[in-house]
Chain A
Amino acid sequence: MTTVATAPERRRRRLSGSTAALGILGLFTIGALLEVLPRIGVLNRRFFPPSSEILTTLIEQLGEGAFWTAVSDTLRGWAIGLTIAMVLGIAVGVIIGSVPFLRDVTSSTIEFLRPIPSVALIPLVVLLYGTKLQSALILIVYAAFWQVLVQVLYGVADVDPVVRDTARSYRFSRWTQLRQVVWPTALPYVMTGFRLAAAVALILQVTAELVIGVPGLGRNLGVAQSSGAVSLTYALVVAVGIIGIAINLFARALERRILNWHPSVRRDVAR
Chain B
Amino acid sequence: MSTPADTMKSGPRGRSRGTRTVIAVLYAVAVPVVLIVAWLIWAGVSPQIFFPSPIAIAEAFVNTWLGPSLTNDVIPSLARLGVAIVLAITIGIAAGTVIGLTPWLRELLEPVLEFFRAIPPPVLIPVFTLLMGITTSMKLAVIVAGAFWPVLLNTIDGVRSTDSVMTETAQSFRLTRAERLRYLVLPSAAPRIMTGVRQTLSIALIMMVISEMFNTSSGLGYRIVYFQRNYLIAEMWSGIVLLGLVGVFLAAVFTFVERRVLRWYHGIKETERA
The residues of A with any CB-CB pair to B shorter than 8 Å are 2-3, 6, 9-10, 18-19, 22-27, 29-30, 47, 100-101, 103-109, 111-112, 114-124, 126-128, 157, 161, 202-203, 206-207, 210-211, 218, 221-222, 224-226, 230, 233-234, 237, 240-242, 244-245, 247-248
Contacts and interface: CB of A to CB of B under 8 A. Distances in A.
24 contacts: A2-B191, A2-B192, A19-B110, A22-B107, A104-B9, A104-B27, A107-B27, A116-B244, A117-B243, A117-B247, A118-B206, A120-B243, A123-B240, A128-B50, A206-B120, A207-B206, A211-B122, A222-B126, A225-B126, A233-B126, A240-B119, A241-B119, A245-B115, A245-B118
A120 B244 contact: yes
B65 interface: no
Contacts of B35: 109
Across chains A and B, which 10 residue pairs bring their CB atoms closest together, nearest first? A244-B118, A123-B228, A225-B126, A120-B243, A115-B251, A108-B28, A116-B244, A115-B247, A26-B108, A241-B119
A124 B108 contact: no
A21 to B, nearest CB: 9
Interface of B: 1, 3-5, 8-9, 27-32, 35, 50, 104, 107-112, 114-116, 118-127, 129-131, 157, 161, 191-192, 195, 202, 205-206, 209-210, 213-214, 224-225, 227-228, 233, 236-237, 239-240, 243-244, 247-248, 250-251
Nearest to A121: B240
Nearest to B29: A108
A168 to B, nearest CB: 11
B75 to A, nearest CB: 18
Nearest to A118: B206
Contacts of A6: 157, 161
B110 A26 contact: yes
B91 to A, nearest CB: 18
B130 A233 contact: yes
Given A23-B111, A115-B248, A157 B5 contact: yes
B228 A103 contact: no
Contact of B210 (A9, A211, A233): A211
Given A112-B248, A115-B250, A120 B108 contact: no
A271 B8 CA distance: 43
A108 B31 contact: yes
Contacts of B213: 119, 122, 211
Contact of B236 (A25, A47, A123, A226): A123
A107 B8 CA distance: 14
Contacts of B228: 123-124, 126-127
A221 B247 contact: no
A112 B122 CA distance: 24
Contacts of A233: 126-127, 130
A100 B202 CA distance: 29
Contacts of B32: 108-109, 112
Nearest to A128: B50
A97 to B, nearest CB: 10
Nearest to B249: A115
A3 B127 CA distance: 31
